[in-house]
Structure 1
C-alpha cells in the first residue's frame, strides 16, 4: 500500500507497473521507506547497466539469467542464485548475457532519484 512515505505492507507484483529505464532495461519499485528500497530490474540480452556509483549500499540477487558484473575494475560472471554487495560510492555495473535476465536490488537508504516527483 502507498502511504505518506513509500510503499509498505502487503505488496502484489501485478499491482506495480514496469518503468522503462532505457535500452532494454526496465524496473519495478516494489517497496520502500526512507531507510530501505527493493526493486526488480529486468534486462534483455546484451542490455547494460552502465558503470556508476552512488552513496547507497546495494545488495543484488540474480533471480534469472546471467550477468557480467563489474565491481570497481574487477569483472566476474554471475548467474541465477548469486549475489553481489556494493558498498557506498563503489563503481559497479552489469551486462546481461541471457534474454530476460532479472535482478532484485536492495538499497540503503532508499534511492530518491528513483521516485518520481
Structure 2
C-alpha cells in the first residue's frame, strides 16, 4: 500500500525519443512516464531484440522528416445515404481542411487532415453538420 502511495506522488514526465530503424525508417516515440531513464532502457531492450534500431543523437535529425497533423476518421452519410468523395471534399474545404482522403470505399470512410490546433474545431463543426 505504501508503494502505491509513493507511485501516486511521483509526477508523470512527458518525453520524446527519436529512433532510427532498419531500412532508413524513422520513429518518434512520445511517452508519459515517472522514470525517463528506466523507460528508455526498456525501449532499448526491445529494440535490441528486434535489431537494427538506434536512438538518434539529435532530436531534429528525426523530427525534420515528420509533420504533425490533425486526423479525423469519419464514416460519412447524409440522411441515410452515402456521401461521395466530391461531397466530402466540399465539406473539407468549408471546414478549412488540408486534405480529404477516401480510405475505405465500401463503407465510405474518409480521413480529414487539418492543423493539429484546429482538430477540435473541425470535429465540432463536422458534428454540427450531421
What TM-score does the superposition give when structure 2 sets the normalisation length?
Answer: 0.24
The structure where helix makes up a greater share of residues is 2
Point out which structure has higher relative CO (alpha carbons under 8 A, 6+ apart).
1
Q: Give 1 or 2: higher strand fraction.
A: 1
Structure of higher CA gyration radius: 2
